[in-house]
Amino acid sequence: MSGEKSRIIGVIILIIVLIFLMANSANLINKSVDVFVVENGALSYEESVEGYIIRDEIVYKGQNYKNGMVQIKSEGDKVSKDEPVFRYYSNGEDELNNKITELDEKINNALEESGTNSLNPNPDIINLEKQIEGVLDNLYEVNDLEKQEEYLKKINDYITKKANIAGELSPAGSYVKDLINERNSLKEQLNGNSEIIKTNMAGILSYRVDGCEEILGTKDFSYLNEGLLNNLDISVGSTIPQSSECGKVINNFLCYIACPISSEISMEAKVRR
């Protein structure tokens, strides 16, 4: 009797196993198969490290750097060789500029009082007045500080030309002539005392000088080592403020990146030429 029970139990187990296998076989048949097309490619090994950009750049700093400077060219401008890029304020420049401004007012007032602007007006003066009005219209429409300074410089140049022409038309030794001569003398004194910096290399102008320009050079890389790079006082993602003492010109056709890597596979890497 016990043997018959054992056979019945065995048959039941066998039936259960067969049902399980048949169910899984049906799932395997019905399940979709993903197909991948093998493409021709290349295997590569990558590492993420911090890199230090090394550029061919020259820092320009004059003798009067403590006086502060005026940007002739703006940040990021392309400059040519021997082109003026910025200048340093001369000693007493604020005082000279104030005197020139006062003389401009006196000249304009004297011209209006003497009627030089209304009696037999000179065509060159009329043309300059139209140019001044045109620049003023443009000045009122812009909000960019750099553009505003550019327009103000043009207006000042036109006013100077107008005053010089009016002075030539005035009688010799007149009050207007004396004012114009005094103004020209102050202008020459202002320009003569200014230290203008010119670049001896073409490239991109920048006033963001971080002090690493003299350390990281492109002429000879034998100085480079991991210790030197790690000791550089550079914060990742930080913005370098514009300097008020110096500027630099960057060769925009040449750039290197130095990365300290010590993995075994990097030591076996070769430069592909």
CB 176 within 8 A of CB 170: yes
- pLDDT for residue 206: 94
Of residues 23 and 268, which shows the higher confidence score? Answer: 268
CB 255 within 8 A of CB 55: yes
What is the percentage of the chain residues whose pLDDT exceeds 90? Answer: 14
| pLDDT above 90 for 250 | yes
pTM for the predicted model, two decimal places: 0.56
How high is the mean pLDDT of the chain? 78
With 0-12 / 13-18 / 19 or more C-beta atoms within 10 angstroms meaning exposed / middle / buried, residue 207 is: buried
Question: Tokens at residue 48, please?
Answer: 């993420």
State how far the Cα of 54 lies from the Cα of 105, in Å rounded to an integer.
52
Nearest to 65 by CA among 90, 88, 83, 48: 88
The model's confidence at residue 247, banded by pLDDT at 50, 70 and 90, is very high
Give the residue-averaged pLDDT of 80-98: 85
The CA-to-CA distance between both ends of the chain, in Å, stands at: 87
How remote is the C-alpha of 43 from its chain's centroid? 38
pLDDT tens per residue, range 133-191: 887 777 777 666 567 667 777 777 777 777 777 666 665 447 777 887 888 888 777 77
| pLDDT above 80 for 202 | yes
Number of residues in the chain: 273
| pLDDT above 80 for 107 | no
Q: What share of the chain is helix, strand, coil (3-state, %, to 5)?
A: 45, 15, 40
